[in-house]
Amino acid sequence: MEERVLLSASHLCKKFRLDRKNSIYAVRDVSLDIYRGETLALVGESGCGKSTLARLLLRIIKADEGSVLFEGRDITGLSEKALLPYRKEMQMVFQDPASSLDPRMRIRDIIAEPLETWRIYDDRRKIDDRITELLEMVELNEDCLDRYPHQFSGGQKQRIGIARAIAAEPKLIVCDESVSALDVCVQAQILNLLKRLKDRLKLTCLFISHDLSVVSFIADRVCVMKNGAICEMDAAEKIYASPEHEYTKYLLSSIPKLIF
């Protein structure tokens, strides 16, 4: 496998049983590579299988068919225990910051959790220094540390979620609709932050969104999904300038004209 490929998926399929008679194919025969240092955007309408695909790639759920290689190693059939070292390398930032942060934990403990779980540092001082560094990266003040999630705005909570996701220096972060719950102005701030972090930390990011105008700001490549399958994947400039697939054209045509 090429050195520049961080994660490679081949022919992934996932079917969910709805009841005794009916099933739904959430992901059908999806193959894709994620390159080191890139932001790959996954776009498509609600229900097209984006989150299911992300969960398959991170091995949160098991595929019915197909395989996932992380740095060339096949993680498809690994047990939970064997997956542990990979869990550190692949982190997620969720859509709803309110429900993804434990309301009973102080911000200090939320950000420290991955550092403690993965035993990154051997003494408390180093953990505290790293927390201070992470706060600075996500542009929050140190006076946040002893407060609880409900004392923050949506945008601030998402900054905390990002700090937690990058704390243990994962090789891949997956942002699943991470700015969708925020108002447009705060969306732009968080997108700017993610872009700065990407440059500074050379992050590899799978950025999931139903909104092509949001994606245009951050993506190097764009993968368009429809009904569980990929219909087009290419460099972002190419997708926006000359989309080939009818569905991509349709998605682009639904972006408000004021923006494009």
Report, in Å, the least distance between residue 100 CB and Mg ion.
Answer: 14
The entry of Mg ion, ligand ATP, none near residue 49 (CB within 5 to 8 angstroms by kind) is ligand ATP
- C-alpha distances out from residue 141 to 37, 112, 144, 160, 192, Å: 28, 16, 6, 11, 18
- Which of 12, 34, 43, 49: binder of ligand ATP (CB under 6 A)? 49
For the beta carbon of residue 101, count every other beta carbon within 10 angstroms: 21
The entry of Mg ion, ligand ATP, none near residue 24 (CB within 5 to 8 angstroms by kind) is ligand ATP
The entry of Mg ion, ligand ATP, none near residue 36 (CB within 5 to 8 angstroms by kind) is none
The entry of ligand ATP, Mg ion, none near residue 46 (CB within 5 to 8 angstroms by kind) is ligand ATP
| DSSP-assigned beta bridge partners for residue 172 | 90, 204
If the CB atoms of residues 51 and 100 are measured against Mg ion, the closer one turns out to be: 51
Whether residue 223 contacts residue 212, with contact meaning beta carbons closer than 8 Å, is answered with no
Interaction between residue 251 and ligand ATP (CB under 6 A)? no
Report, in Å, the least distance between residue 215 CB and ligand ATP.
Answer: 13
Binding residues among 186-225 for ligand ATP as defined by CB under 6 A: 210
If the CB atoms of residues 91 and 209 are measured against ligand ATP, the closer one turns out to be: 209
CA proximity to 160, closest of 191, 130, 135: 135
If the CB atoms of residues 39 and 51 are measured against Mg ion, the closer one turns out to be: 51
Whether residue 182 contacts residue 140, with contact meaning beta carbons closer than 8 Å, is answered with no
For the beta carbon of residue 219, count every other beta carbon within 10 angstroms: 24
Rounded CA gap, 224 and 16, in Å?
Answer: 21
Whether residue 26 contacts residue 52, with contact meaning beta carbons closer than 8 Å, is answered with yes
Residues that bind ligand ATP (CB under 6 A): 16, 24, 26, 44, 46-52, 210
Residues near Mg ion, by CB under 5 A: 51
